[in-house]
């Protein structure tokens, strides 16, 4: 038997902040219709008030991110700006999962410290540990440098992006994201 935590707080006329063991969610709606967004996905509930008859539709985050698998139409020509945007859309720096989990736990403890002051030191410790993991581990530094390079390319600051990509390649010489950005910088920068 496991420990369960659940707290629901009203934050607006028809909006509630729900904190539970599985994560934080927000739900809003009126009589007969309610939408909730939480760690498991999006839930829409439609009902006939007073009858007990209702319909619930649940979409997990995985199904929302995948989208529909429709027919793909290839475009004959992409401008250099479009090809850069397409290349950058496939680059998502992965933060270390333990840092993400500690960060989420730290924020939950920070919220709970408003109710119980004993959670404040725990929140501080968890947030410091997650920051240390991001700054001092190999995966954390790669994620930070890749994110800076991606943002620099979006601002057309190619020299800074090139510098950050080289930092990533010093840490991990086989990093595909950094190689893709450097290839784009060396080939297509002159056309933008």
Distance between CA atoms of 103 and 116, rounded to whole angstroms? 19
Residue 164, domain member (yes or no): yes
Q: Which stretches does DSSP call E strand in 31-107?
A: 33-38, 41-48, 53-60
Q: Which stretches does DSSP call E strand in the chain?
A: 6-10, 15-20, 23-30, 33-38, 41-48, 53-60
Residues of the chain scoring pLDDT < 50: 77-78
Residue 71, domain member (yes or no): no
Same structural domain, 90 and 56:
no
Same structural domain, 153 and 180:
yes
Same structural domain, 44 and 116:
no
- Please report the pLDDT score of residue 143 as a whole number: 84
Q: What's the number of domains the chain is made of?
A: 2
Whole-structure pTM value: 0.47
Same structural domain, 110 and 171:
yes
- Give the CA-trace dihedral at 169, 173, 179, 185, to 10 degrees: 40
Lateral strand order in the sheet of 53-60: 6-10, 15-20, 23-30, 33-38, 41-48, 53-60
Residue 48, domain member (yes or no): yes
Residue 49, domain member (yes or no): yes
Calculate the CA 11 to chain-centre distance: 23
Residue 74, domain member (yes or no): no
Residue 138, domain member (yes or no): yes
Q: Determine how many CB atoms are found less than 10 A away from the CB of residue 160.
A: 14
Same structural domain, 47 and 90:
no
- Please report the pLDDT score of residue 102 as a whole number: 74
Residue 73, domain member (yes or no): no
Same structural domain, 47 and 134:
no
- Please report the pLDDT score of residue 85 as a whole number: 61
Same structural domain, 89 and 124:
yes
- Please report the pLDDT score of residue 154 as a whole number: 80
Same structural domain, 104 and 22:
no
Looking at residue 92, the DSSP 8-state letter turns out to be -
The DSSP bridge partners found for residue 8 are: 18
Residue-range definition of the domain harbouring residue 129: 80-191
């Amino acid at each position: 038997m496991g420990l369960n935590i659940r707290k629901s707080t009203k934050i607006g006329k028809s909006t509630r902040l729900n904190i539970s063991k599985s994560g934080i969610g927000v739900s809003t709606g009126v009589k007969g219709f309610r939408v909730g967004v939480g760690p498991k996905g999006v839930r829409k509930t439609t009902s006939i008030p007073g009858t007990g008859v209702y319909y619930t539709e649940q979409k997990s985050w995985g199904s929302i991110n995948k989208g529909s698998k429709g027919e793909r139409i290839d475009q004959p020509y992409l401008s250099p700006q479009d090809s850069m945007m397409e290349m950058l859309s496939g680059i998502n720096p992965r933060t270390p999962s333990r840092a993400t989990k500690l960060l989420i736990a730290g924020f939950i403890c920070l919220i709970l410290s408003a109710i119980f002051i004993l959670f404040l030191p725990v929140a501080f410790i968890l947030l410091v540990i997650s920051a240390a993991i991001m700054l001092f581990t190999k995966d954390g530094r790669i994620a930070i440098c890749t994110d800076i390079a991606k943002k620099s390319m979006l601002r057309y600051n190619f020299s800074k992006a090139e510098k950050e990509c080289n930092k990533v390649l010093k840490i991990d010489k086989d990093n595909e994201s950094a190689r893709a950005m450097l290839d784009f910088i060396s080939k297509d920068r002159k056309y933008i």
